[in-house]
Amino acid sequence: KQEVTQIPAALSVPEGENLVLNCSFTDSAIYNLQWFRQDPGKGLTSLLLIQSSQREQTSGRLNASLDKSSGRSTLYIAASQPGDSATYLCATPGNTPLVFGKGTRLSVIA
Amino acid sequence: GAVVSQHPSRVICKSGTSVKIECRSLDFQATTMFWYRQFPKQSLMLMATSNEGSKATYEQGVEKDKFLINHASLTLSTLTVTSAHPEDSSFYICSAPQRGSSTDTQYFGPGTRLTVL
């Protein structure tokens, strides 16, 4: 059974700092991996989707990497802004139910 | 990208009443939809898999008679919380996978906040 773990559970950084969020999964036979953002009381916003054949994806200030062999993915946020404050979730998606990590609550302080 | 909608976005009801939540894929067909529940400060947990034209598949610990799922068409799945109790208060989110030529991507609805008084 797939298990997804995210570290740290919470992170507080000053504005402008670069940061890395970590995601690990127990079953490396994943179809792909997806990073989401969730604002308080809101639904999910998909940020990046990495196919199992890819090693990374970039969108603006976000870069996600995937290492299937080690069961790890990272989300790199460059030059963080207060508007980046949210909970970030990783999950293994595809056409099967997603397995989510518990998320990392990020606070970017102006 | 594809869009999945949910209705209502927020509902408050009295204990003992039933509440229906709709999940629609707006620009693609979804033979499968997933229903998740999220308690405060917790991650999303899968409740059930909704299958068009057949019975839903429920996760262990989820009461199928309490959480009725109907996948009436290729674009609509409904979740009915029957005889709701305060402990059913939660954030309910649906998702639908869109089949692609090279990849399957899941799209999420905006969620429904249920508060049972």
Chain A residues with CB-CB distance to B42 below 8 A: 102
Closest CA to A66 of A85, A76, A52: A52
The percent of residues above 90 in pLDDT, for chain A, comes to 60
A82 phi and psi, to 5 degrees? Answer: -55, -30
Closest CA to A29 of A52, A8, A61, A3: A52
Which pLDDT value is given to residue B58? 94
Per-chain mean pLDDT for chain A = 90
Q: Amino acid identity, residue A16?
A: G
Q: Grade residue A106 by pLDDT with cuts at 50, 70 and 90.
A: very high
pLDDT digits (tens), chain B, 117 positions: 668 999 999 999 999 999 999 999 998 888 889 999 988 878 888 899 998 888 999 998 999 999 999 998 999 999 999 999 999 999 999 998 877 644 567 788 989 999 999
Stated as kind and residue range, the H or E segment containing A56 is: strand A56-59
Which pLDDT value is given to residue B6? 95
| A45-80 residue pLDDT tens | 889 988 888 899 999 999 999 998 999 999 999 999
Chain B residues with CB-CB distance to A42 below 8 A: 110-111
Q: Taking CB atoms and an 8 Å limit, are A101 and B34 in contact across chains? A: no
Report the alpha-carbon distance of residue A92 to residue A34 in Å, rounded: 6
Q: Name the token pair of A57.
A: 């994806």
A15 phi and psi, to 5 degrees? Answer: -55, 140
Which pLDDT value is given to residue B103? 54
Q: Please tell me whether residue A83 adopts helix, strand or coil conformation.
A: helix
Please indicate if any CB of chain B lies within 8 Å of the CB of A102: yes
Q: Grade residue A96 by pLDDT with cuts at 50, 70 and 90.
A: low
Q: Which residue of A has its CA nearest to B58?
A: A97
Q: Indicate whether A95 pLDDT > 60.
A: no
Which pLDDT value is given to residue A44? 85
What is the CB neighbour count within 10 angstroms for residue A60?
8
Is residue B85 exposed (0-12), middle (13-18) or buried (19+ Cβ within 10 Å)? Answer: exposed
How many angstroms away from the CA of B94 is the closest CA of chain A? 10
How many angstroms away from the CA of B84 is the closest CA of chain A? 21
Which pLDDT value is given to residue B9? 93
